[in-house]
Chain A
């Protein structure tokens, strides 16, 4: 017993020393997993960019259960990690309880707002980006029918869908938008097989452009769309490279920039609410060598015009989550 005790206290002592020596940032990935080629991976890319430029290092964890949210936050805070960056709206409730206990630690929360003096909340206007890619989908579609495949059926994804439909209707008021959600449980974020099936179903109903806002499930959507010879639209990260010439564009949500900025600012990070939208480059559509042949000058001019108009407030895209309704179907 005494041997065990000394062993444990020695381990505790080394852990404490290690904690005091480094004030490295920490990054917590939500339940979707780090390599979802989408939302969480964007966060990881941002952190990696910071590592490359500064030569620093950071702690990271992929959560496996709900109870681990609070645990990971507290353990990193007690270990002296600063700032602590976390991805996903599900942290909102937990962080609002944890943040006041560690006033000297700075937290950055992506996708949700927590009102505390030591928290930077970064939220994105996904509906604006979805509006832009919706316009491109309507422009690229020959059948007049386009598809939307969401991940888990939650308000956030309905916000994507609503912005997308608005964009489609702005270009072609007669267009049909087929909407499907992958599932009702968190497993829907990582079910490429189901995503593939839904894509096939939408193709059989005439869709020739599909927009996947479904995390890891989108990999299956993009694959099937490429196999069946229709166009797809990626989300969060730039997914154009996955099937060159087959992915019309990607709705970019610059989670990587949010993470990179937080880690660069370090412990001096400014707190408060940061809204990232089209106006400040936090939301955009992807244009690179992989999709350049698909986007003609006409389409680019149309979308860039809409971008400018959203930025200066001429166009207001309705936000589903502001009132939980969508003006268009």
Chain B
């Protein structure tokens, strides 16, 4: 029996966490002599007030959806994949390679080709830690986090020594050819008569991210593999007793997870930069952990949490542009939200559970 009703678990707990984080952030802003009301106004208007703001918010959210789903899928199999960052980096490498060396005739082919290559590379990068965990017992948290560093080093070597165009100073690949450029929301919405900001980076990858949400929901709750993944996540010995091959399911869940993290590359590499730069992932792999925690590992929750974090990123950028709040304090505000919604979840949950239990006892 559940300790509290579903709606409280899904809505009330995150909401109270957010309010607590917001209150603390307001105190921080007050302490440096700025107005919290003005700050919130700038953030909300900057993130949702214009189509340009929406474009950036959704752009960040698209990346976070992919990495959030990646963490969520692995988590259902009780695998804590901290390596989304590295998998996304290597996924970006895959997308960049096909964009640079395959002559795509049209962006639709480029999208599918780039998405496929990014997922393949991301999955391959997740396979080694997955194999080591499933067959050799090396702890997945340690191996995936170390693989982030290896990915950064590999990418650095390739960008500086191999892929950098001659004469280029930036450790980055050349610009991808014209046919691989993905349509932005501006291009997509114009035929429908909607004017969307031309400079915002949100692009067709958003649709792919939403499809990925549906795919993950189907996979986890509507397929046999999803059942096996969840069974393994709840109890390994129980899953083995039921005839499920634990190493196989663990590896498959990590492959899917790595593919989702790698798939993010269509957004930041193909959609925004249209070339591969060194730090293209920018922590989205780690934000994905917070997104999955806050979204309760459910695709719909991940979607909402990703938009929230997109808002924090874009709103934070607006704060940096138009106020004198130091950029370090903007990171503090973002970190407070992660702390309360992710790490301090039980601080809100336990008292609420006790409250609901006592309410239930008083009923006849």
A-side interface residues toward B, CB under 8 Å? 7-8, 11-12, 15, 31, 59, 61-62, 64-68, 70-72, 74-76, 89-90, 92-93, 101, 112, 153-156, 184-186, 321, 324
Contacts and interface: CB of A to CB of B under 8 A. Distances in A.
A156 to B, nearest CB: 6
B278 A186 contact: yes
A15 B53 CA distance: 15
A185 B321 contact: no
16 contacts: A12-B49, A15-B322, A31-B279, A65-B317, A67-B60, A67-B268, A67-B282, A70-B199, A71-B199, A75-B321, A76-B321, A93-B172, A154-B169, A156-B169, A185-B278, A185-B279
B195 interface: no
A90 B170 contact: yes
Contacts of B316: 64
Given A153-B156, A185-B152, A66 B280 contact: yes
Given A62-B320, A64-B327, A72-B321, A8 B169 contact: no
DSSP majority for the A interface?
A: helix
Contacts of A324: 166
Contacts of A65: 282, 313, 317
Contact of A184 (B41, B50, B157, B167): B157
Contacts of B56: 67, 71
Contacts of A101: 199
Interface in B35-61: 41-42, 45, 49-50, 56, 59-60
Nearest to A5: B49
Considering the complex of A and B, which 6 residue pairs feature the smallest CB-CB distances, nearest first?
A184-B156, A8-B49, A62-B327, A65-B282, A89-B169, A74-B199
B175 interface: yes
Interface string B169-194: 11110010000000000000000000
B170 A184 contact: no
Given A89-B170, A324-B166, A67 B49 contact: no
Nearest to A156: B169
Interface residues of B, number: 41
Interface of B: 41-42, 45, 49-50, 56, 59-60, 152-153, 156-157, 160, 164, 166-167, 169-172, 175, 199, 201, 268, 272-273, 275, 277-280, 282, 313, 316-317, 320-322, 327, 330-331
A254 B157 CA distance: 31
Contact of B49 (A11, A71, A156): A11
Given A72-B321, A90-B277, A93-B175, 11 more contacts: A11-B41, A15-B322, A31-B279, A61-B321, A62-B320, A66-B273, A71-B199, A93-B172, A153-B156, A154-B160, A186-B279
A103 to B, nearest CB: 15
A321 B165 CA distance: 12
B315 to A, nearest CB: 12
B280 A155 contact: no
A93 B175 CA distance: 9
A176 B279 CA distance: 34
B41 A66 contact: no
Nearest to A88: B170
A324 B165 CA distance: 11
Nearest to B49: A8
A68 B45 CA distance: 17
Contacts of A184: 152-153, 156-157
A67 B59 contact: yes
